[in-house]
Structure 1
Amino acid sequence: MTTDHQLVVENLTLGYGDHTVIEGLDLLVPPGKVTAIVGANACGKSTLLRSMSRLLSPRGGRVLLDGREVHRTPAKQLARTLGLLPQSPISPEGITVADLVGRGRHPHQGIFARWSREDDEAVADALTVTETAVLADRPVDELSGGQRQRVWIAMALAQQTDLLLLDEPTTFLDVSHQIEVLDLLTDLNRERGTTIVMVLHDLNMAARYSDHLVALAGGKIHATGDPAEVLTEVNVRAVFGLDSQVIIDPTSGKPLMLPLGRHHVLSER
């Protein structure tokens, strides 16, 4: 693994049909760090991630990986460096867990698609660290939502890319499994130098587990930087329309947002 890859967004404009979601956005992803993207619903978080991974072509601007436009890079070549876990992925009917995780090895196989010992080891490691090895022979469509999410993360890990983009990786998971998944991703970053970019709804989880926080509002970056600089009462109000109190978590040392309910706010006015 290397932490030297540069993923850069320049003057990016994205949309669907007649609707523009993101306009003129610039972003530099810190290499070798964990970046979390937060914002209100429909602010463009998932749309941005899809374009960064080549799934959505820009209307304007570009996404560069090591100086090369990702939308002009062959998909298989890009997939050796950059992996994506999309929101609500769909698995082929009847596919087993082991087979699905094995598909993460496709970018590394040659023209004759020969399966290697390295492929076996990558799949086994991904199953182990996500605690899904016991599910290896089960059909994916028979799993619970939480089990299925961990299997998809295992597939992304089996791809063994230097950069990993994840759209809501804690979807369908209870609090305990959310912590396990986020611990897993940060361990991957610390131990292998993998650059992580993830979209999260939970502000406190985002602040706790990221080195770099990006807050989107109205299709633009409202604030970006260290979580302590971004997760402030002023920014929470501007991005989410929510009154809050932000304190320092005594355990993690990271900012912790405490929402103020409507009645609580009114009683103080």
Structure 2
Amino acid sequence: MTTTHTLAAEKLTLGYGERTVIEDLDLVVPPGRITAIVGANACGKSTLLRAMTRLLAPRSGQVLLDGKAVHRLPAKELARTLGLLPQSPIAPEGITVADLVGRGRNPHQGVFSRWSREDDAAVAAALEATQTTELADRAVDELSGGQRQRVWIAMALAQQTDLLLLDEPTTFLDVSHQIEVLDLLTDLNRARGTTIVMVLHDLNLAARYADHLVALTEGQLHAAGSPSDVLTEECVRVVFGLDSRVVVDPTSGRPLMLPLGRHHVREPAGASAGDGAAGPA
């Protein structure tokens, strides 16, 4: 299955107070694919996600879901189609994991409807997928940062939306759990056709897991397309101000960025000690 829902930004300008963060941005999210948004700190990645879920009103332009402005859609209608995991969510004090994940079912509840077997199944599946079933009766504020992050992802999965937006979903996670979360999102995309848009700081994980990369710099769209088209040495230099080498990842076949710093860089073959190569021991 692949979702047919479309999500796009047209001439979008966003900001806070007198500060403009994103200006005149056009962006189309490929339906049924995984999109990763990358860029330096404060370039507008999280701001863009907030606007796409109508948490931030545009100064001008619009975000369109299936051709309709998201800021004009009823909140519950939007929540049945589009889910968001923000960067630093806050859980009510004392709430248990099961209760928090269950809140992902709120958009599916009517005024007079009761909790159903379908709701139970959705919550159980989300807990299992994120390996948090054994935490169901624990209070969220007692968990480690990594455990809490997986619980929040479980709540987003329980919402069962066709589009899922995640702001830095691998925050607080060690390397093995980062891979587990990204594998989980890939499974969700492949099994249900869920359109996934996520902000990631790790360029190499973004290139490995995303079908579509969006690179922002200073509130502008620098590049968008396949990882092999976007993750180039020129792009890394412009977007991050970093010299690098981009090679083919022998594991995934995707581009792999190797940063160049002032230290721990091998000298070219034949370089002399006067050129900075190490002399004999």
Q: TM-score range by the shorter chain?
A: over 0.9
The residue type equivalent to 1:178 in the other structure is: Q
The residue type equivalent to 1:108 in the other structure is: H
Q: Where do residues 30-179 of structure 1 align in structure 2 (5 Å cutoff)?
A: 30-179=30-179
For residues 228 and 153 of structure 1, the distance between their equivalents in structure 2, rounded to whole angstroms, comes to: 28
The residue type equivalent to 2:179 in the other structure is: I
Offset of residue 262 of structure 1: 2.4
1:203 aligns with 203
For residues 181 and 46 of structure 1, the distance between their equivalents in structure 2, rounded to whole angstroms, comes to: 19
For residues 180 and 70 of structure 2, the distance between their equivalents in structure 1, rounded to whole angstroms, comes to: 31
Q: 251-260 or 104-113, which moves further after superposition?
A: 104-113
For residues 112 and 205 of structure 1, the distance between their equivalents in structure 2, rounded to whole angstroms, comes to: 44
For residues 2 and 107 of structure 1, the distance between their equivalents in structure 2, rounded to whole angstroms, comes to: 21
Question: Matched residue of 2:100: which SS?
Answer: helix
The residue type equivalent to 2:221 in the other structure is: I
1:250 aligns with 250
For residues 258 and 67 of structure 2, the distance between their equivalents in structure 1, rounded to whole angstroms, comes to: 41
Using the aligned pairs only, state the percent identity.
Answer: 80
2:272 aligns with none
Offset of residue 75 of structure 1: 1.0
2:239 aligns with 239
For residues 67 and 40 of structure 2, the distance between their equivalents in structure 1, rounded to whole angstroms, comes to: 31
For residues 45 and 60 of structure 1, the distance between their equivalents in structure 2, rounded to whole angstroms, comes to: 17
Offset of residue 114 of structure 1: 1.3
2:227 aligns with 227
For residues 28 and 221 of structure 2, the distance between their equivalents in structure 1, rounded to whole angstroms, comes to: 12
For residues 74 and 102 of structure 1, the distance between their equivalents in structure 2, rounded to whole angstroms, comes to: 21
Question: Matched residue of 2:222: which SS?
Answer: strand
For residues 67 and 242 of structure 1, the distance between their equivalents in structure 2, rounded to whole angstroms, comes to: 38
Q: Determine if the alignment matches structure 1 residue 20 to structure 2 residue 16.
A: no
With normalisation by structure 2, the TM-score equals 0.93
For residues 113 and 132 of structure 1, the distance between their equivalents in structure 2, rounded to whole angstroms, comes to: 27
Tell me which structure has the larger Cα radius of gyration. Answer: 2
For residues 25 and 67 of structure 2, the distance between their equivalents in structure 1, rounded to whole angstroms, comes to: 17
Question: Matched residue of 1:80: which SS?
Answer: helix
Offset of residue 2 of structure 1: 4.4
With normalisation by structure 1, the TM-score equals 0.98
Q: CA RMSD in A?
A: 1.4
For residues 165 and 62 of structure 1, the distance between their equivalents in structure 2, rounded to whole angstroms, comes to: 17
The residue type equivalent to 1:161 in the other structure is: T
Offset of residue 112 of structure 1: 2.2
Question: Matched residue of 1:169: which SS?
Answer: coil
Query: Gapped runs of 5+ residues in structure 2?
Result: 269-274, 276-281
The residue type equivalent to 1:132 in the other structure is: T
The verdict on how the C-alpha distance between 1:134 and 1:86 changes in structure 2, with shifts beyond 3 A counting, is same
2:183 aligns with 183
Residue correspondences, number? 269
Query: Gapped runs of 5+ residues in structure 1?
Result: none
Residues 187-240 of structure 1 deviation map (CA, whole Å, 9 limit, x = unaligned): 100111000000000000000000000000010110110000100000000000
The verdict on how the C-alpha distance between 1:214 and 1:185 changes in structure 2, with shifts beyond 3 A counting, is same
Moved over 6 A (4+): none
Residues 35-89 of structure 1 deviation map (CA, whole Å, 9 limit, x = unaligned): 0000000000000000001100000000000011001111111000000000010
